């Protein structure tokens, strides 16, 4: 038996390239050929009848596509390609001849529910019944081959869903560009295939999901919410009237019970009915964690959030576990990450957080896109060229209503060649061939600095004069770009040069007043991500408003059944053409 010298890791690189098709949003991707040096393609042994049957069944796939399974440009690929490669590299030997492996597989498939997946996707009952049939009778060669291929397909499908998700995010969001890097696919596949030979199926499933603490906390949170559901759910609080400090009565008693059930109030205080200081503190904590504005009053928004059914919160956690499977592999080394729905940004160095700040993000009608890029340079004392959408929808109406608007905001009118025009010479009822540029200055729309990461969406991080908006709980206030509360701190960290680009050096650069682009010595990855859960300091899952209504489509994808072929051993047949050594008839 092949023993694994390291913990079985279905590594990030492998799952960047080998992700499942058959989920609702997946499709076959272009593929690249395998060089002769990188693979050995042999036939089943002459005395291996089951192997011969497996090879005959898979033979049409070899002519459909070469065995290495994906291009670096794509994330998703038909799982049949993985199955073919699996058997080719074991000379088509059956993989599930040990009943212990099958038992582990069935148990592990059932346990995928703890990761928010749907065990029935994997046709566990069919697989178990087929296994029992094989043990109870003398199965034919064709039946043994059919079962083996079905078990392998299910094994690979489940592991791939656990590692990098069931739903293809690129089919949900046209901006999605978290493309995987290539490399190491053969070695990673060998690790996967070795799990069966090592009789380590359960361990393979244990190590397939992300191993980061955030994912473990989400899994634990999901389990706790399911316990609440199974116990009957959370107590409901009567809506229709705001509950305020000093009040007493049945509704306040319901509120206290709900706060106890959520872990916000001491259980010994559940039976009281007064809105006292303990309740005020608990409500404020709940409001803070739910992005509701912590005033201590259980108003309409707070009561509505408290009354969200636990089943809906379970689905919300499942959606975000899926997002974790999409993204957690990216969170390594040095990077900046924007939590769009959480209105915050953080910088990590060597995988550890070193800085955080509040941000303002795009309004729902001008949402901040989800994508990745690299921060390459900083613009000091930036001018601002008004984007076309803002020009048409925001600025031109203001100019029409107030002819002095442009001068008051230091905005110049330019023609296509960049020549400055007199605003009075422009027909503002139908302006053509112009663009507007705001002069640099601390009160300009971009403030003192812009943090640039070239992308197709004209999105960047920047300073802002609208600092009062950082005090708001809901900060979806921009036209798509990300306004940062403490951008100069981030600039200093990005340069990572305590001699030239310390705080004093940055202030000196700003003081000269010139608009200037300064390249970073090292590019820094930036990820604009979307999550609708948070984790409290004690690991409890808390919930954010889904400001862009993205959760529903992810949940829909999770709810779509995985397209695995049915398993009916009565229909097992060996193809008429069976190839032998060297593909000879």
Task: Judge if 334 and 206 occupy the same domain.
Answer: no
CATH number at residue 365: 2.40.440.10
Task: Judge if 206 and 337 occupy the same domain.
Answer: no
Asked if residue 482 is part of any domain, the answer here is yes
Cα torsion 563, 568, 574, 580: sign: positive
Asked if residue 263 is part of any domain, the answer here is no
Asked if residue 300 is part of any domain, the answer here is no
Asked if residue 299 is part of any domain, the answer here is no
Per run of 10 residues, the mean pLDDT along the chain (length 585 residues) is 32 27 33 37 82 91 60 57 87 94 97 96 95 91 95 92 90 80 49 80 90 93 96 95 95 96 92 94 96 94 96 98 90 93 96 95 96 97 92 92 92 92 90 92 94 95 96 94 98 97 97 97 96 87 95 96 89 60 38
What are residue 215's phi and psi, to 5 degrees? -70, -40
Domain count, the chain: 2
Question: What tokens appear for 492 in the block?
Answer: 């200093």
- Of 165, 185, 211, which one is at a domain's C-terminal end? 211
Q: From the CA atom positions of the chain, what is the Rg in Å?
A: 29
Quote the domain boundaries for residue 382.
330-534
Question: What tokens appear for 54 in the block?
Answer: 């497996």
Classify 355 as helix, strand or coil: strand
Asked if residue 233 is part of any domain, the answer here is no
- Of 211, 226, 249, which one is at a domain's C-terminal end? 211
pLDDT of residue 42: 66
State the angle between helix axes of 250-261 and 277-289 in degrees (0 to 180), rounded to the nearest 10.
50
Asked if residue 218 is part of any domain, the answer here is no
Asked if residue 454 is part of any domain, the answer here is yes
Rounded-to-5 percentages of helix, strand, coil across the chain: 45, 15, 45
Task: Judge if 197 and 337 occupy the same domain.
Answer: no
Task: Judge if 384 and 525 occupy the same domain.
Answer: yes
State how far the Cα of 357 lies from the Cα of 486, in Å rounded to an integer.
6
pLDDT of residue 70: 44
CB atoms within 10 A of CB 357: 16
- Of 165, 194, 211, which one is at a domain's C-terminal end? 211
User: Does the active-site annotation cover 462?
Assistant: yes
- Which helix (H) or strand (E) covers residue 230, if one does? helix 213-230
Asked if residue 285 is part of any domain, the answer here is no
User: Does the active-site annotation cover 89?
Assistant: no
């Amino acid at each position: 038996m092949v023993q694994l010298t390291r913990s079985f890791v279905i590594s990030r690189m492998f799952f960047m390239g080998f992700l499942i098709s058959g989920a609702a949003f997946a499709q076959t991707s272009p593929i690249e050929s395998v060089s002769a040096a990188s693979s050995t393609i042999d036939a089943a042994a002459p005395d291996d009848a089951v192997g011969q049957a497996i090879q005959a069944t898979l033979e049409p796939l070899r002519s459909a596509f070469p065995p290495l399974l994906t291009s670096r440009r794509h994330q998703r690929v038909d799982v049949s390609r993985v199955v073919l490669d699996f058997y080719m590299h074991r000379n088509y030997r059956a993989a599930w001849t040990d009943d212990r492996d099958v038992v582990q597989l069935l148990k592990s498939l059932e346990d995928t529910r703890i990761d928010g997946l749907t065990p029935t996707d994997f046709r566990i009952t069919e697989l178990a019944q087929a296994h029992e049939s094989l043990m109870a009778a003398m199965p034919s060669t064709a039946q043994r081959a059919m079962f083996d291929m079905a078990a392998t397909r299910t094994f690979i499908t489940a592991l791939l869903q656990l590692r990098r998700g069931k739903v293809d995010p690129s089919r949900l969001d046209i901006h999605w560009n978290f493309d995987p890097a290539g490399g190491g696919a053969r070695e990673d596949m060998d690790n996967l295939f070795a799990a069966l030979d090592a009789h380590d199926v359960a361990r393979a499933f244990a190590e397939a999901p992300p191993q980061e603490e955030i994912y473990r906390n989400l899994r634990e949170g999901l389990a706790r919410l399911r316990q609440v559901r199974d116990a009957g759910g959370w107590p409901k609080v009567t809506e229709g009237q705001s509950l305020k400090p000093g009040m007493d009565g049945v509704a306040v008693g319901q509120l206290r019970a709900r706060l106890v059930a959520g872990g916000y109030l001491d259980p010994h205080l559940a039976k009281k009915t007064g809105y006292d200081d303990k309740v005020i503190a608990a409500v404020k904590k709940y409001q803070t964690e739910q992005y509701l504005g912590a005033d201590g009053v259980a108003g309409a928004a707070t009561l509505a959030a408290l009354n969200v059914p636990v089943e809906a919160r379970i689905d919300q956690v499942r959606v975000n576990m899926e997002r974790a499977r999409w993204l957690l592999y990216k969170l390594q080394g040095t990077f900046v990450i924007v939590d769009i729905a959480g209105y915050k940004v953080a910088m990590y160095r060597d995988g550890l957080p070193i800085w955080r700040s509040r941000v303002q993000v795009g309004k729902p009608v001008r949402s901040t896109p989800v994508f990745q890029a690299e921060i390459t340079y900083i613009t000091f004392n930036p001018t601002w060229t008004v984007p076309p959408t803002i020009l048409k929808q925001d600025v031109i109406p203001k100019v029409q209503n107030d002819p002095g608007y442009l001068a008051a905001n230091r905005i110049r009118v330019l023609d296509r060649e960049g020549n400055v025009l007199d605003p009075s010479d422009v027909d503002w009822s139908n302006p053509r061939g112009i663009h507007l540029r705001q002069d640099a200055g601390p009160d300009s729309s971009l403030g003192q600095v812009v943090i640039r990461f070239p992308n197709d969406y004209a999105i960047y991080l920047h300073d802002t004069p609208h600092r009062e908006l950082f005090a708001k709980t809901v900060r979806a206030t921009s036209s798509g770009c990300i306004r940062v509360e403490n951008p100069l701190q981030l600039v200093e960290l990005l340069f990572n040069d305590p001699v030239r680009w310390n705080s004093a050096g940055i202030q000196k650069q700003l003081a000269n007043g010139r608009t200037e682009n300064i390249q970073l010595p090292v590019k820094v990855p930036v990820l604009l991500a979307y999550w609708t859960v948070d984790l409290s300091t004690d690991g409890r899952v808390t919930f954010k408003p889904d400001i862009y209504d993205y959760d529903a489509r992810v949940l829909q994808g999770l709810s779509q059944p995985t397209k695995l072929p049915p398993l009916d051993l009565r229909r097992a047949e060996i193809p008429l053409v069976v190839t032998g050594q060297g593909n000879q008839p």
